[in-house]
Structure 1
Amino acid sequence: MTGPDQKQQMEQLEAKIAAVKKSQDRGPVQEEHYSQAQHAWRMVIELVAGLGIGFGIGYGLDYLFGTLPIFMLIFTILGLVAGVKTMIRSAQEMQEKQLAELAEKDAADISAKDEGS
């Protein structure tokens, strides 16, 4: 037999469980930030793409003009420089994004402290 005290406790427990389930039910959550490995792969791909495009243009010009290694070397070096510049730009974008997130977090912490006092 269950007494009225146990029924009341069960109802309270069920209400707590329902409240927790309701607070956790936010629908599908998408991951908006990327892991460090994804950032690293992005930079590697940018560098390799710059090298590949430079090599391709240089080889094409050498084939067209019959001057095999000169344009290939020049454009491969230019592709490397372009790839490095793109990598640096990507790193700066990621750093600015992280700094903005930290600033937002600090501002939220400060406003929470101000409201609490």
Structure 2
Amino acid sequence: MPEPDDAARLRELEKRLAERRAAAEPETSHSESGHGQAQLAWRMVIELVSGLGIGFGIGYGLDALFGTEPFLMIVFIFLGLAAGIKTMMRSAEEVRQRQAAEAAQDDGGADGD
């Protein structure tokens, strides 16, 4: 007769473990989501600033080389800004596609249960 008692205890243990796992999941995903959003924001800022910096450097170098003081620097700053914005938009689209894929995967997982 010890077998039914052991089976009941095992079922009770599995039930408690499942409850604890379910309670712990939202906290972990919320924390990771916050870090992911901050990381994405910093990535976008760095992309924009680096585009501006590279544009400034190229324009300044060409101005020094050709002797056309502010002209090429201004042109390349705007080109660097455009490149930085384009890179930011590409990053945002990448994140949007990843979130859509995760949402589709979550929906598929819910339908399969």
Q: TM over 0.5: same fold?
A: yes
Corresponding position of 1:3: none
Q: Tell me the residue number matched to 1:87.
A: 88
Instruction: Name the structure where helix makes up a greater proportion of residues.
Output: 2
RMSD: 2.7
Quote the Cα distance in structure 2 between the aligned partners of 1:95 and 1:108. Answer: 20
Gaps spanning 5+ residues in structure 2: where? Answer: 22-31
Equivalence for 1:47: 48
1:102 Cα deviation after fit: 0.3
* CA positional deviation for 1:35: 1.6
Structure 2 residue aligned with 1:96: 97
**For the pair shown, which has the larger CA radius of gyration, 1 or 2?**
1
Tell me, in whole angstroms, the C-alpha distance in 1 between the residues paired with 2:66 and 2:109. Answer: 63
Count of residue pairs brought into register by the alignment: 91
Provide the identity percentage: 57
Write the distance in 1 (CA, Å) between the matches of 2:105 and 2:39: 24
**Structure 1 residue 76 corresponds to structure 2 residue 59:** no
Structure 1 residues 56-83: Cα deviation after superposition (integer angstroms, max 9, x where no partner): 0000000011111000000000000000
- State the 1:48 CA deviation: 0.3
- The CA distance in 1 between the partners of 2:111 and 2:85, in whole Å, is 39
1:16-66 deviations in Å (ceiling 9; x for gaps): 49xx5xxx8xxxxxxx87521110000000000000000000000000111
Give the unaligned 5+ runs of structure 1.
Answer: 1-7, 25-31, 113-117
Name the residue aligned to 2:109: 108
Q: Which runs of 4+ in 1 moved over 6 A?
A: none
Partners of 2:96 and 2:81 in 1: CA distance: 23
